[in-house]
Amino acid sequence: MDRWVNETFSIQQIHILNKSDFVNTILQKYVIQHAAVVGDRLSDI
């Protein structure tokens, strides 16, 4: 797993309630321009 996963995140971990802001924080941290988000709820789509 370490080959593909650098870090895991939880929205509660970084105290952001808005999912868009949460994803944007991660994209900026790792300078990511293309990504996919996997969620387990219909609201995550």
For residue 9, the model assigns a pLDDT of: 82
For residue 33, the model assigns a pLDDT of: 94
Q: What is the DSSP string of 1-45?
A: -TTT-S----TTTTT---HHHHHHHHHHHTT-SS-----SSGGG-
Query: How do the domains of the chain map onto residue ranges?
Result: 1-38
For residue 45, the model assigns a pLDDT of: 58
For residue 44, the model assigns a pLDDT of: 61
Torsion sign across C-alpha atoms 14, 20, 24, 26:
positive
Report CA 7 to chain centroid distance, whole Å. Answer: 10
Q: Running along the chain, 45 residues long, what does each successive block of 10 average in pLDDT?
A: 86 78 89 84 66
Tell me the two tokens of residue 21: 């802001």
pTM for the full predicted model: 0.62
